[in-house]
Structure 1
Amino acid sequence: MPAAMRGGSSARPTRQGTAQAAARGRAVAPAGGPSAAAILLAALAVILAALVLILATGGRGTRMAQAAGADIAQRLADAGFRLDAVRVKGASPLATGDILKAAGLYKGQPLADMDLDVIRQRIESVGWVHDVRVVRLLPDTLLIQVVERRQLAIWQSGGQRQVIDVRGAPIPEADPARFASLPLVVGAGAEKAAAAILLELSRRPPVLSQVEALVRVDQRRWDLRLRSGGLIQLPAVDEAAALRRLDELDRTSGLMRIGFERLDLRDPAVVAVRPRTGGAVAASPELSPEGASKG
C-alpha cells in the first residue's frame, strides 16, 4: 500500500472537525469571574492556612492573619456576601426600632466582617431585651432572635412613672402612656413586690377589674384603691388568705357589688368595714363596724 495512504485520513483533520473542537473549547471556557461558592471555598482555605500560621509564628502570625481575614471579608463582600436584610424575631413593634438602632448595622456591610458578640452585647443593653441570639444567614441576611422582657405594671414613685418587668426592673425605653392597660403600683418598694400581689389578683378578675392602683404602705403591705373610691387594706403577711376571705364575703354578701368606703382585712380574726355614706352592707358573721378591728 502506498505510504501516503497509511493513516492519512486521521493525520489531516477536516474543517468540520476543527470547528467542533473549537466549539467544545468555547463551551468549557469560564463565563466570568469566580463564583461566590468558589470564593467561599478559597476563603475557608485561607482561614485554615492563617490558623496554621498563627500557631507557627505567634504574634507576627496573628497580625498577618488579621490582614488576611480583612482581605477574605472584602472578597466575600465582592461576591455578594453583604448585609441586605435584618430579620428581628420575638420583639414587639415598639421594641424593634430600639433594637435595630442599638445594633448599629447598615446596608451593604460585609457580612463576614461582623463581630456577632459585639452586636449581641449592644442589643442586650436595650431595656426591652431579656435575651438575644444573633445569626448570619448567608449570603445577605442577619437574624436577631429576641426574648423580650414582659411588661408587668406601671410603677409610680417620686412623681415619676416607669414601665416595669416581672422582676420589678424598669424598662427605660417603654413609654408609660402607651401601656395604659397595665395595672398601676405606687410607692417605694412597690416595683419589687408587684409580681406576687398581681399574681393573686389575676386569679380574681372581678376584684382586679375594680382596682385603680395598688399602693405599697411602709414597704411592707398593700392598699388596693378601687375605681369606686373604696379602699381595701391587706395585711403584711398572707395576702392570699385575706383575698380568699374577700372572695367568701363577696359570695355571701355581694360586698364588691354593694360597695364600701373602706374594708380592713389586716386582722385575720376580724373584718372591719366602713359602708359608703348612705349605704348598707349585708350582715355577715365576719363583718364588724370599722373600729372593731385592732388596726
Structure 2
Amino acid sequence: MPAVVRGGRRQNSQAPKRGAPAGASRGGPRNAPATAAKVAALGKLDLSPRAVMIALFSGVIVLGIVLATGARADRIGASIDQGVASVASGLGLTLDRVHITGASEEATPSIRRALQVQAGQPITTLDLAAIQARVQSVGWVESARVVRLLPDTLIVEVVEHDRLAVWQTGGRAFVVDGSGKIIPGADPGRYPALPLIVGQGADQAASEILPLLDQRPRLMSRVDALVRVDERRWDLRLKDGSL
C-alpha cells in the first residue's frame, strides 16, 4: 500500500477570488476582418463632428503616404491598422484598466501574463480572440471571455477548473479536477481541506466515489485518505489509523 503523506495546516480549499507588448505584425488580405473590426469599434463611438473630421483627415494622410511611396496592396491593411491606432490614441482610446473576474489569487498572475497587453496601447487594436485563446491555454482556466469596454477597459471573465482532490502518486502530489486532470501550477500544500486520494488510477476514479462519500458527511469527516488498490477498489484510511 502506498505511503500516505500530507502536510500543511487546514484552511479553506478555495483560494480567495480575485491581467506586457501585444500583437504580431499585421499582414495583407488575411487581416481584413480584424481591421474591419477595429474600424467598427471606432464607429460605435458617439464622436463630435470635429473628432470625426480629425479621424478622417488622419486616415487620408496615412493612405496617401502608402500610395505615394508605392506600397504594395498587402501593406495597405497594416497601414490602415496604424492609422486606426493613431486615431484611437488621439481620441483617448487607450488601455488603462484590466479587470479579471472569476480567477483565484493563485491563478491570477498566470492569467495576467497570458494577456500580453500593456497600459497605453490603443484599445481598438486589441485582438480579443487571440487574448481569449491565450487565457484559455493557462492550466487553471476551463473557459474565458474577453470584453473590450470603451474607452479604456479590458474585462476578462474566467471559469477555473474545479479542484476535486489532492492526488498522491509516485512520491509526488498534484491537484486534480473533476475529470481527473492535473491542474498545472496548483500547489497541493494550499489545499489541505481537499480529499486526499492515493495510488495509481485514483485520479480517474475519484469522481465516482467522492460524491458518494459527500452524502455521508460523518464518515467523510473521519477519512484521512482514500487509497486505490490494484485500480479496482478503495481502502479508506481513517484519521485514527484504522482501515
TM-score, structure 2 length as denominator?
0.70
Task: State how far apart, in whole Å, the 2-side matches of 1:156 and 1:78 are.
Answer: 56
CA offset at residue 40 of structure 1? 6.7
Q: Which residue of 2 aligns with 1:101?
A: 113
Question: For residues 147 and 199 of structure 1, what CA distance do their matches in structure 2 show?
Answer: 22
1:215 equivalent in structure 2: 227
Q: Name the SS of the counterpart of 1:151 in structure 2.
A: coil
Mapped contact 1:128–1:173 kept (Cα < 8 A) = yes
1:26-55 deviations in Å (ceiling 9; x for gaps): xxxxxxxxx982547947xx6xxx9xxxxx
Structure 1 segments of 4+ aligned residues over 6 angstroms from their partners: none
The match for 2:187 among 175, 178, 201 is: 175
Aligned with 1:202 (options 205, 214, 218): 214
Separation of aligned partners in 2, 1:183 and 1:89: 27
1:79 and 1:133 map into 2 onto residues whose CA distance is 26
Question: Partner amino acid for 1:124?
Answer: Q
Select the residue among 47, 56, 60 that pairs with 1:37.
47
User: In 2, are the aligned partners of 1:36 and 1:80 still within 8 Å (CA)?
Assistant: no
Counterpart-to-counterpart distance in 2, 1:142 and 1:187 = 43
Task: Please report the RMSD computed on the Cα atoms of aligned residues, expressed in angstroms.
Answer: 2.3
Q: What percentage of residue pairs aligned between the two structures are identical?
A: 47
Residue 37 of structure 1 aligns to which amino acid in structure 2? Answer: L
Structure 1 residues 190 and 214: alpha-carbon distance in aligned structure 2, compared to 1, 3 A threshold: same
* Superposition deviation, residue 61 in structure 1: 3.9
Number of residues of Structure 1 aligned to a counterpart in Structure 2? 185
- Matching residue's letter, 2:168: Q
Corresponding residue SS for 2:76: helix
Q: What amino acid is aligned across from residue 112 of structure 1 in structure 2?
A: T
Q: Give the match for residue 250 of structure 1.
A: none
Q: What is the CA distance between 1:224 and its match in structure 2? A: 0.6
Aligned residue for 2:159, secondary structure, equals: strand
| Unaligned 5+ runs, structure 1 | 1-34, 51-59, 232-295
Q: Which runs of 5+ in 2 are unaligned?
A: 1-44, 64-71
CA distance in 1, matches of 2:189, 2:121: 37
Task: Please say if 1:135 is aligned against 2:147.
Answer: yes
Does structure 2 retain, via aligned residues, the 8 Å contact 1:40–1:76?
A: no
Q: What is residue 256 of structure 1 aligned with on the other side?
A: none
Q: Distance in 1 between matches of 2:241 and 2:206?
A: 21
Once residues 97 and 217 of structure 1 are traced to their aligned partners in structure 2, the CA distance between those partners, rounded to angstroms, is 38
- Separation in structure 2 between the aligned mates of residue 78 and residue 171 of structure 1, nearest angstrom: 43
Map Cα deviations across residues 94-136 of structure 1 (whole Å, 9 max, x no partner): 2222211221221112111211122111111111100001110
